[in-house]
């Protein structure tokens, strides 16, 4: 019996020994790699080093956009911990569990609204982080809770593992808030709620010129969740959908990653097997800002620089047992973005912006057509030889520094201050279209410089009257005088002789109806009616309207500037640009109209300003002659017409093309010509005594 008991005990000891050996084999052989990685992960930390975004400079090297230090708070919604001996993702936000956050991120419609409200209330009622942070920042609990919840749902809330990734919570907080959070996080007896926060000294984008350059510089913002998915791909029902690594905007690369570089390692999707289960997780660009609008967006790939990764190792530093993180390998810096210089002089832009504000305020006080409401306005100065933009004004504008706070009010403003009217405002051109029609008709030979048509103030076509300007009887009139007096009847006849197809062709070749390719994002193409080219469902009456810039066509002020530049420089279509680059100062096309046709149109435009009876004689200066054309474009019944004036100066050797537009400003000669005169005085540095006082006629 005794021997039997000894045998049983021996067997039990043997089994226990076998189990211990088996466990040791499993730990040291089978799972060694996993535990080695776990140990390494505790000793090592992989961090992302962001670059400095390139500066945007004016033509004299003054900063228009630059990075400045920013004290930022980042949130880690959950942490990896062991619950009942098993590895799990645990919330750091009170009762709001990771599972609830992921469920909310995946829900939509009415269910999302209900889940969001429930999660919001749980944060307000149970999260000590929300309560303490609201007290520290002197904000309402509800306001902080909403920011915290939105941060949890931002970008990488597709799985519980994603919630262990930091995301930006508050940017550019006060130094006292930053230091208080740092103090609590570094104190082992401090507030445990702040352990879910990280503090970073980041960079924020500032725009010293503010509203004056807002439409040109644009602004920056974070990559959206959809853009992240486009770059890095996503997991759909456990299957990897690959990312493209490139985002394009209007046919141009907006954001691209190096296929084999460290950036791709940061953003790529990843997966691993732990304890026989496949885990999916994603890399991230936690602090990537990108350009939104203007030069910031168009040149984003050049300005943004390149991120790098840096591996840090926790090491003992002495006999005291203290530890610190040290870099493994060479600490390669991030590649900062490239600074870019523009063709615009900030002081020149500031002066012209001030002139526009003053003149538009005068119009408001005069109650012209808008019952005392503020006016919008546009001014563009461009070199007719190179396409370099010297000034670009769209009033009202916005301040990129305060855009987030001002955004609700900007949306309510009926003048749409977020719209860059120079490149995206689409308006009927009215009579500023007439020099283009004259150039086309003369070049095609359907009229000659001495061709005259009789203007009796109206043409009747199928019981419909097509009137001349104020039904004025101009009598027999040639092309030069028709431009001077803006005679509609002459251009009805000239347009009919040219035909809608050739009108369309000349308008298109002179840059109307399509984007010019300016290096500012957001350009719109305007509209030329396709029926004019095909001839289907097109009438003579529509040709009449087309010939005087009315009907179903719209243009942008930038397109008119390019067209007027072609008249000034002899027929070359320039590439408009704001980047100071010789490569961009090249012509896009050569129209090469006959010399006699060009000279006739130029002389007619000279008479518009310099002749005592010209429609833009209020733009005259003593120092040199100006050639231009006024326009008053009808667009809606019972509404004031859009006022235009386009010109180039000096007449003999053009240095600049100037376009002024005041939507609903009535007549171009009375509204825009005086504004253009002041702008040209400022541009050329002339005194007020240089102006010639005249009365406008339309």
* 109-164: pLDDT as tens digits: 888 888 888 888 888 888 888 898 999 999 998 999 999 888 888 755 567 777 87
pLDDT at 417 over 80: yes
Residue whose C-alpha is closest to residue 417's, from 436, 393, 451, 401: 393
pLDDT at 245 over 70: yes
- Give the model confidence (pLDDT) of 607-633 as tens digits: 999 999 999 999 999 999 999 999 999
pLDDT band at 330; cut points 50, 70, 90: low
pLDDT band at 223; cut points 50, 70, 90: confident
pLDDT band at 697; cut points 50, 70, 90: very low
Q: Are 609 and 620 in contact (CB under 8 A)?
A: yes
pLDDT band at 312; cut points 50, 70, 90: low
With 0-12 / 13-18 / 19 or more C-beta atoms within 10 angstroms meaning exposed / middle / buried, residue 277 is exposed
pLDDT at 286 over 60: no
pLDDT band at 688; cut points 50, 70, 90: confident
Fold of 40-62+208-341: Penicillin-binding protein 2a (Domain 2) (3.90.1310)
* Of 23-37, 340-354, 359-373, 453-467, the least confident: 23-37
Q: What is the mean pLDDT of residues 341-351?
A: 97
**pLDDT at 157 (0 to 100):** 59
Q: How far is CA 199 from CA 70, 100, 218, 538, in A?
A: 11, 26, 28, 66
Give the separation between CA 545 and CA 3, rounded to whole angstroms.
119
State the chain's mean pLDDT as an integer: 85
**pLDDT at 543 (0 to 100):** 95
Q: What is the mean pLDDT of residues 242-264?
A: 77
The listed range with the strongest mean pLDDT (197-211, 266-280, 309-323, 342-356) is: 342-356
pLDDT at 328 over 70: no
Start-to-end C-alpha separation, the chain? 127
Give the separation between CA 511 and CA 562, rounded to whole angstroms.
7
- Domain locations in the chain as residue ranges: 40-62+208-341, 346-400+417-690
pLDDT at 278 over 60: no
Residue whose C-alpha is closest to residue 488's, from 552, 549, 555: 549
* Of 79-88, 115-124, 197-206, the least confident: 79-88
Q: Are 506 and 549 in contact (CB under 8 A)?
A: no
* Of 11-20, 26-35, 535-544, the least confident: 26-35
- Give the model confidence (pLDDT) of 258-273 as tens digits: 776 667 666 665 555 5
**pLDDT at 698 (0 to 100):** 40
pLDDT band at 220; cut points 50, 70, 90: very high
* Of 60-74, 325-339, 605-619, the least confident: 325-339
Give the separation between CA 142 and CA 542, rounded to whole angstroms.
59
Give the separation between CA 235 and CA 237, rounded to whole angstroms.
6
Give the separation between CA 671 and CA 368, rounded to whole angstroms.
10
DSSP 191: -
Give me 338's structure tokens. 């490239």
Q: Are 35 and 319 in contact (CB under 8 A)?
A: no
Q: Are strands 340-341 and 56-57 parallel, antiparallel or unpaired?
A: parallel
The CATH number for 346-400+417-690, chosen from 3.40.50.360, 1.20.1250.20, 3.40.710.10, 3.40.50.800, is 3.40.710.10
Q: Are 397 and 207 in contact (CB under 8 A)?
A: no
- Percent pLDDT > 70 in the chain is 85
Residue 87: φ, ψ to 5°: -70, 130
Q: What is the mean pLDDT of residues 184-205?
A: 80
The listed range with the strongest mean pLDDT (26-35, 105-114, 672-681) is: 672-681
**pLDDT at 92 (0 to 100):** 83
Residue whose C-alpha is closest to residue 305's, from 285, 327, 321, 281: 285
Give the residue with greater pLDDT, 248 vs 277.
248
């Amino acid at each position: 019996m005794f021997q039997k008991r000894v045998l049983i005990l021996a067997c039990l000891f043997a089994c226990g020994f076998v189990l211990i050996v088996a466990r040791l084999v499993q730990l040291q052989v089978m799972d060694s790699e996993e535990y080695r990685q776990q140990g390494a992960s505790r000793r090592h930390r992989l961090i992302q080093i962001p670059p400095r975004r390139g500066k945007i400079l004016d033509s004299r090297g003054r900063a228009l956009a630059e990075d400045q230090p920013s004290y930022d708070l980042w949130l880690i919604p959950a942490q990896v911990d062991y619950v009942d001996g098993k590895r799990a993702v645990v919330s750091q936000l009170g009762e709001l569990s990771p599972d609830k956050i992921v469920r909310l991120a995946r829900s939509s419609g009415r269910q999302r609204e209900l889940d969001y409200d429930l999660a919001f209330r749980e944060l307000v009622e149970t999260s000590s982080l929300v309560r303490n942070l609201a007290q520290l920042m002197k904000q309402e609990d509800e306001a902080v809770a909403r920011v915290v919840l939105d941060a949890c749902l931002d970008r990488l809330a597709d799985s519980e593992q994603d919630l262990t990734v930091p995301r930006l919570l508050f940017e550019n907080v006060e130094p006292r808030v930053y230091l208080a959070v740092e103090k609590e996080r570094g104190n082992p007896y401090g507030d445990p709620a702040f352990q879910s926060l990280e503090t970073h000294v980041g960079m924020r984008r500032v725009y010293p010129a503010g509203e004056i350059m807002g439409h040109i510089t644009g602004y920056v913002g974070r990559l959206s969740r959809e853009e992240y998915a486009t770059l890095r791909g996503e997991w759909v029902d456990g299957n990897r959908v690959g990312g493209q690594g490139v985002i394009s905007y209007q046919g141009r690369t907006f954001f691209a990653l190096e296929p084999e570089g460290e950036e791709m390692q940061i953003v790529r999707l990843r997966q691993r097997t732990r304890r026989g289960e496949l885990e999916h997780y994603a890399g991230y660009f936690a602090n990537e800002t990108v350009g939104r609008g203007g030069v910031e967006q168009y040149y984003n790939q050049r300005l943004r620089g390149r991120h790098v990764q840096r591996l840090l190792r926790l090491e003992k530093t002495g006999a005291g047992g203290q530890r610190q993180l040290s870099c493994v390998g060479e600490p390669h810096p991030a590649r900062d973005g490239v600074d870019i210089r523009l063709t615009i002089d900030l002081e020149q832009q500031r002066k012209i912006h001030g002139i526009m504000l003053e003149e538009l305020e005068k119009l408001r006080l005069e109650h012209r057509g808008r019952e005392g409401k503020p006016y919008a306005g546009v001014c563009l100065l461009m070199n007719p030889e190179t396409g370099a933009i010297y000034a670009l004004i769209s009033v009202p504008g916005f301040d990129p520094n305060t855009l987030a706070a001002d955004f609700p009010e900007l949306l309510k403003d009926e003048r749409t201050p977020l719209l860059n009217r120079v490149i995206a405002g689409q308006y009927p051109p009215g009579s500023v279209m007439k020099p283009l029609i004259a150039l086309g008709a003369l070049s095609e030979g359907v009229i000659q410089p001495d061709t005259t048509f009789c203007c009796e103030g109206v043409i009747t076509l199928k019981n419909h009257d097509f009137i001349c300007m104020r039904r004025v009887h101009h009598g027999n009139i040639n092309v030069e005088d028709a431009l001077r007096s803006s005679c509609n009847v002459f251009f009805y006849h000239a347009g009919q002789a040219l035909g809608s197809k050739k009108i369309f062709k000349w308008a298109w070749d002179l840059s109307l109806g399509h984007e010019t390719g300016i290096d500012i994002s957001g350009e719109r193409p305007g509209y030329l009616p396709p029926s004019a080219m095909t001839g289907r469902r097109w009438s003579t009456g529509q040709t009449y309207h087309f010939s005087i810039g009315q009907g179903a066509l719209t243009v942008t002020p930038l397109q008119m500037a390019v067209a007027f530049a072609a008249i000034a420089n002899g027929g070359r279509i320039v590439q408009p640009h704001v980047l100071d680059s010789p490569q961009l100062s090249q012509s896009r096309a050569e129209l090469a109209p006959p010399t006699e046709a060009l000279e006739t149109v130029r002389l007619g435009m000279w008479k518009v300003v310099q002749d005592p009876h010209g429609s833009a004689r209020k733009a005259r200066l003593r120092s040199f002659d100006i050639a231009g054309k006024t326009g008053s474009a009808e667009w809606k019944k019972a509404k004031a017409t859009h006022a235009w004036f386009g010109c180039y100066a000096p007449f003999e050797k053009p240095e600049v093309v100037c376009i002024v537009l005041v939507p609903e400003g009535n007549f171009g000669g009375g509204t825009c010509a005086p504004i253009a005169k002041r702008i040209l005085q400022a541009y050329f540095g002339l005194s007020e005594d240089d102006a010639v006082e005249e009365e406008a006629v339309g």
